[in-house]
Amino acid sequence: MAFAAPLRTLRALAVTVAVALLASGLVFVAAPATATAAADPAFPGVAEALPAAVEAAAGVAAADPGEADPAGTATVTGRVTFPDGTDLSMGRTFVAAYAPGADVGSPLAAAAVTDGSYSLRVPQGDVVLGVVSEGRAVFDQGGPQSGEIVSVGPDGVVRDVVLERSALVSGRVTAPTGVDITGQRVVVAVYPVAGAGAAVSAANVVTDAGTFAVGGLPAGEYRVAFVSSVAGAVSEWWQDAPRFEKARPLVLAAGEARPGIDAALEALHRMETSVPTISGTPVVGQTLRALPGAWTAGAALSYQWYANGKAIAKATASSLALTTAQAGTRITVQVTGKKATFASATVASAATAAVLRPLVAPTPSITGTPTVGQTLKVRTGIWTAGTRLTYQWYINGAPVARATAASFTLPSSAAVKTVTVVVSGTKAGYAAASRRSKPTAAVKGILSAPTPRITGSAIVGSRLTAVPYTWTSGTRLSYQWYLNGRAISRATGSTLVVTPAMVKARITVRVTGTKSGYISAARTSARTAAVVYPGRTKPISTWNCPAWAPIKGNAQSMIYHVRSGAYYAKTKPEACFSTESAAVKAGYRKSKR
């Protein structure tokens, strides 16, 4: 019959108590009688996880039994069945009897299990049985706090136990030369990763032979600590990690036995280090800086810079100003940390790219007139001999596609914007460099300025109109009319009334366009025909026609009269004509007298 509750619940209770003490700041660990490992605040919960029940049971089992069958006692016998494959050559297992509610350190009787059978002489009455082990891949069962209460009568009882397989870790611990770690002064503690280093799942002491085995572990992810109370051998985490967070996790499957969890203790604490990095640009004249990363708190850090693996004289600061002596080399830095009771450590950075020389790179300038349609050119200045130069032109800071020559013809899109050029230089062994020119003045735009046209007839009394056509949007237009090339006073509108004073002259109009950021433009129309009088007009009075249209027309008779005619002076004109042909064209005939 298996005992009811596993003893690992008792261990969990002890761990809970230890975590509570740690959280309160009252870190206290009571070591078992046979183990002398002292408490280390950096490794909380260790003592509570040690197999104290095994030590107590072993002590009782080894004691002189005295009288063979004391009065009032009876025998409890049975068999303990181990999981298949359990290595019984390592570790030990005991069956112990306890008074109900007693402490694990006070068994009434105990017996070692060697061949699977056991026999206990216990007081008659109620007892609680427990099976406890150390160094074996099994879980404990029973115990005084939660095990099955067995009523033992004069005839005794038989109880068989079937143990469950647990995971187990084992290995070897070695000490620094000349340091003795015998006497159970080193403990191996297995911490669950999820416990953040505050709780221990199981622990055991290192034997005088330097070996250990920690069983009773469920499947899970753990970190293993080696806790030493020996002068000259410092505690550490598996694989030389300086603290819980950096220790390598160990994943155990259910029932897995993991050997080879070895440790070689050091005489001094291991320095927590980081691989340094280098910031800055590896170019002559620039400054590199060492970024050491996280080291053990309080460690004093020193630096040594190297060029192609050779130490640079006097380069022992955290920064390095690069000189021509380092040109072409790759730079590294070594950081050394020192602190009392810690082993000093030196870690080197990765190498930089080869250090480059700086190019002589003057600021370029732009020549030419910043007007749409004009060509600008770059004046590069004198760069380091052998430098290959390339160009990129920009309009208002935006790169212009395919504008990569040493000259640039300004497109209309550049109007009222500034232009810059970036000259870039490259040469083997030198750091590439780029220099930007100062911006030009805002580029002047070119107005779209068509030639205007005059509509209307060049006849006295007619109105001429200037047609400007379509100019650049937003252009302000103004007008000036001309007579035989001479400006007509006050003739600045878009229309012009033809007067007699203009007869025989030819008229033109000049349209001028202005717009902010653009070059003003002016266009002149073609000339009109020579200004003439109209063929017909109205009388200027009852009896008179204008001088330029002297022929009088009688609308009733449809007869016209010239000045030399007999009836000219006696005719009241109803129409006046400038020429006889105009009168005839209007349907009039000439007077016969």
**At residue 29, does pLDDT exceed 50?**
no
Most confident range (mean pLDDT) of 54-63, 227-236, 428-437 is: 428-437
User: How much is the average pLDDT of 32-52?
Assistant: 68
Q: Which of 374, 448, 466, 450 is nearest to 411 (CA)?
A: 374
Answer whether residue 561 is part of any domain.
Answer: yes
Answer whether residue 51 is part of any domain.
Answer: no
**At residue 10, does pLDDT exceed 70?**
no
Report pTM.
Answer: 0.51
The count of domains in the chain is: 6
Looking at the fold, whether 260 and 174 belong to one and the same domain comes out as yes
Confidence (pLDDT) at 401: 97
Answer whether residue 350 is part of any domain.
Answer: yes
Task: Quote the CA–CA distance of 115 and 92 in Å, as a whole number.
Answer: 11
What contacts 581, CB < 8 A, 6 or more positions away? 535
| Residue length of the chain | 593
Looking at the fold, whether 415 and 470 belong to one and the same domain comes out as no
pLDDT tens track for 312-371 = 999 999 999 999 999 999 999 999 999 988 889 999 999 999 999 999 999 999 999 999
Confidence (pLDDT) at 66: 63
Answer whether residue 318 is part of any domain.
Answer: yes
Looking at the fold, whether 437 and 456 belong to one and the same domain comes out as no
pLDDT tens track for 284-314 = 999 999 999 999 999 999 999 999 999 999 9
Answer whether residue 124 is part of any domain.
Answer: yes
Binned at pLDDT 50, 70 and 90, residue 128 comes out as very high
Answer whether residue 433 is part of any domain.
Answer: yes
HSE, CB side, 13 Å, CA atoms: give it for residue 326. 32
Task: Quote the CA–CA distance of 283 and 328 in Å, as a whole number.
Answer: 9
Contact status, residue 360 vs residue 391, Cβ threshold 8 Å:
no
Residue that the structure tokens 């003739």 belong to: 491
Residue that the structure tokens 């910031």 belong to: 279
Looking at the fold, whether 201 and 125 belong to one and the same domain comes out as no
Strand locations in 229-344 (E) = 236-237, 250-252, 257-258, 263-264, 269-270, 277-279, 287-291, 300-307, 310-311, 319-321, 331-338, 342-343
* DSSP 8-state code for residue 99: -
Looking at the fold, whether 343 and 399 belong to one and the same domain comes out as no
Confidence (pLDDT) at 403: 98
Q: How far is CA 88 from CA 85, 116, 336, in A?
A: 9, 10, 49
Answer whether residue 409 is part of any domain.
Answer: yes
Average predicted confidence (pLDDT) for the chain: 90
**Pairing, β 257-258 against β 167-174:** parallel
Task: Quote the CA–CA distance of 549 and 537 in Å, as a whole number.
Answer: 7
Domain stop point among 127, 143, 164: 164
**At residue 235, does pLDDT exceed 80?**
yes
Domain stop point among 445, 474, 501: 445
Residue that the structure tokens 């380092």 belong to: 326
User: How much is the average pLDDT of 90-99?
Assistant: 94
Type of residue found at 104 = V
Confidence (pLDDT) at 28: 26
Looking at the fold, whether 522 and 549 belong to one and the same domain comes out as no
Task: Quote the CA–CA distance of 217 and 44 in Å, as a whole number.
Answer: 18
Contact status, residue 542 vs residue 563, Cβ threshold 8 Å:
no
Confidence (pLDDT) at 542: 95
Per-residue DSSP letters for 441-469?
SPPBEE---PPPEEES--BTT-EEEEE--
pLDDT tens track for 558-585 = 999 999 999 999 999 999 999 999 999 9
Looking at the fold, whether 219 and 176 belong to one and the same domain comes out as yes
User: How much is the average pLDDT of 151-174?
Assistant: 95
Rama region for 517: left / alpha / beta (φ>0; ψ in -120 to 50; rest): left
Strand locations in 312-442 (E) = 319-321, 331-338, 342-343, 345-348, 357-358, 365-367, 375-379, 388-395, 398-399, 407-409, 419-426, 430-431, 433-436
Looking at the fold, whether 430 and 489 belong to one and the same domain comes out as no
At 33, list the tokens: 């009688």
* DSSP 8-state code for residue 397: T
Contact status, residue 427 vs residue 388, Cβ threshold 8 Å:
yes
Task: Quote the CA–CA distance of 39 and 57 in Å, as a whole number.
Answer: 23
Looking at the fold, whether 156 and 175 belong to one and the same domain comes out as no
Q: Which residue has the higher pLDDT, 11 or 267?
A: 267
**At residue 489, does pLDDT exceed 90?**
yes
Structural domain span for residue 104: 73-164
- Enumerate the β-bridge partners of residue 486: 483
Confidence (pLDDT) at 42: 78
HSE, CB side, 13 Å, CA atoms: give it for residue 478. 10
Tell me what percent of the chain is helix, strand and coil, each rounded to the nearest 5: 10, 40, 50
pLDDT tens track for 65-74 = 666 778 899 9
Q: Is the dihedral of CA 185, 189, 195, 196 positive or negative?
A: positive
Looking at the fold, whether 574 and 506 belong to one and the same domain comes out as no
Straight-line distance from the first to the last Cα atom of the chain, in angstroms, rounded to the nearest whole number: 166
Answer whether residue 432 is part of any domain.
Answer: yes
Looking at the fold, whether 456 and 414 belong to one and the same domain comes out as no
Confidence (pLDDT) at 40: 67
Task: Quote the CA–CA distance of 492 and 505 in Å, as a whole number.
Answer: 18
Confidence (pLDDT) at 374: 97
User: How much is the average pLDDT of 372-391?
Assistant: 98
Neighbour-count burial of 429, counting CB atoms closer than 10 A to its CB (0-12 exposed, 13-18 middle, 19+ buried) = exposed
* Helices first, then strands: H and E counts in the chain: 4, 50
Confidence (pLDDT) at 147: 83
**Pairing, β 157-158 against β 277-279:** unpaired
At 154, list the tokens: 């004069």
Task: Quote the CA–CA distance of 372 and 272 in Å, as a whole number.
Answer: 67
Task: Quote the CA–CA distance of 321 and 288 in Å, as a whole number.
Answer: 6
CATH number of the domain that 522 lies in?
A: 2.60.40.2700
Confidence (pLDDT) at 231: 85
Domain stop point among 427, 445, 463: 445
Residue 321's φ and ψ, nearest 5 degrees, are -85, 120
Q: Which of 421, 419, 417, 418 is nearest to 437 (CA)?
A: 421
User: How much is the average pLDDT of 381-401?
Assistant: 98
What contacts 21, CB < 8 A, 6 or more positions away? 27, 28, 44
Confidence (pLDDT) at 267: 87
Task: Quote the CA–CA distance of 313 and 431 in Å, as a whole number.
Answer: 25
Confidence (pLDDT) at 31: 33
Report percent pLDDT > 70 for the chain.
92
What contacts 229, CB < 8 A, 6 or more positions away? 36, 37, 38, 40, 185, 186
CATH number of the domain that 79 lies in?
A: 2.60.40.10
Looking at the fold, whether 430 and 465 belong to one and the same domain comes out as no
